[in-house]
Amino acid sequence: MRIVVYGGSFNPVHNGHVNLVKETAEKNSIDRVYVIPTFISPFKKDSAGFVADGKDRLEMCRLAFAKLPYVKLNSCLDDHSPYVLNFSVEGIRSEIMLHHLESRGVYVSSGSACSKGGHSSVLTAMGIPDKVADSAIRVSFSRMSSCGEGEALATALQEGYMSLAKR
């Protein structure tokens, strides 16, 4: 299975985003796309200007990508750090994926320090099913993060999914 992680502020989401996902998936035989709306792009030096409410952008993304069954959203944009993303790689428990990522030099976590030993109470409060929460991955970016690091994460995730997913 081939996956793509597509993050952005989606402020607002538009047909260009949807068409990019659709064409990329069709031309490259992509099975799943994780769309991850962020509050503020960590790669933008100036975050001034209009930023739509997080709930509104998340709902816009849900509506925009609703007709693409291979797109999965797992994000909450209210009252969170703009540099922390959370998504689930369904079918692979986070601990297993974390070990795979570490073997590729990519270090992320499955939750915050206060969720050690179990899945996130925030994901539970959001209504995320246990099966999805058990496969959650938490990624932290900063203004010092590079595009190359993001690409390394995406590549390692795809390799992990290909080798670890139950077929």
Residue 2 CB contacts under 8 Å (≥ 6 apart), including other chains: 28, 29, 30, 31, 32, 158, 162
- Annotation says 114 is catalytic: yes
DSSP letters spanning 34-56: EEEE-SS-TT-S---S----HHH
Cα 53 to Cα 12, 37, 40, 58: the distances in Å are 10, 12, 11, 9
Instruction: Tell me which residue of 15, 66, 60 sits closest to 37, measured CA to CA.
Output: 60
Give the catalytic positions in this structure. 114
